[in-house]
Amino acid sequence: LTSYLCHFPIDTSTKQYQTTMVLFLLYMKADLENVESVALQLDANLCLNVRNPLSDYETREKVVLNPSEFVEQDESSRENPHHFSLKWDGSKKASTMTILDAKAIKTALKKKKGVSSPKNYGADDSGNWSPILAAECRGIEPFAFFPMGNNDFVVTSTGGKEFTEDVELGEGDWADYDDETDEPVSMSEIEFKWEAV
């Protein structure tokens, strides 16, 4: 499994990084055989590494969050709902990450020309990078993604059979058999990366 580092330059002199929203897309790349689509489940636990955009050494590794669960906040809180938050050393304000739904993605990408919306990874994407998830980040950068293997992905074969159990992509490949079409179904060279857009 390969992850790529990404760093979005932010003006550190004003400390605006904690209120400035940066949109990050999670990209997937894989070689598909007899696979029509690969879908990240909307309620899947996501495991990722994050870092402080002002400091490459200040990181949190293998943070787990769930896009279907928001962080509980006080009623007096003025922060937007989010899925993950933390305070970096010396910071007065929490840094947050929110996984965007389809409506929020459409709004966020409205002014971003040439950027594809996240979608299921399909047969036409085989061998190419394609976005599968979007995250709105304030004062935090995701830089690695780790599939957890807890049925977080659903694979649909070209014959229409859905594979929902034991779809573990963390080893870089996955294979099964579609007994309805009598064909092997597989994914290889699986990679993920985060990019700021």
172 within 8 A of 189, measured Cβ to Cβ: yes
- Rounded to an integer, what is the distance from CA 145 to the centroid of its chain? 7
Q: Given pLDDT bands bounded at 50, 70 and 90, which one contains residue 72?
A: confident
Asked whether residue 169 carries a pLDDT value surpassing 70, the answer given is yes
Nearest alpha carbon to residue 156 among 130, 121, 188, 191: 121
CA dihedral 151, 156, 159, 160 (to 10 degrees): 90
State the average pLDDT over residues 88-95: 90
Q: Would you state the pLDDT for residue 106?
A: 92
Q: Would you state the pLDDT for residue 149?
A: 79
Q: Given pLDDT bands bounded at 50, 70 and 90, which one contains residue 75?
A: low
163 - beta bridge partners? 155
State the average pLDDT over residues 69-80: 71
pTM of the model: 0.86
Q: Would you state the pLDDT for residue 19?
A: 56
Least confident of 1-15, 31-45, 74-88, 96-110: 1-15
| Number of alpha carbons in the 13 Å side-chain half-sphere of residue 5 | 7
N-to-C CA span, the chain: 23
Give residue 149's region: left, alpha or beta (phi > 0; psi -120 to 50). left
Report the percentage of the chain scoring pLDDT > 90: 68
Q: Would you state the pLDDT for residue 141?
A: 96
Pairing of the two strands 183-196 and 174-178: antiparallel
CA-to-CA distance for 162 and 195, rounded, in angstroms? 29
CA-to-CA distance for 4 and 197, rounded, in angstroms? 15
Asked whether residue 17 carries a pLDDT value surpassing 60, the answer given is no
Secondary structure, 3-state, 10-30:
CCCCCCHHHCCEEEEEEEEEE
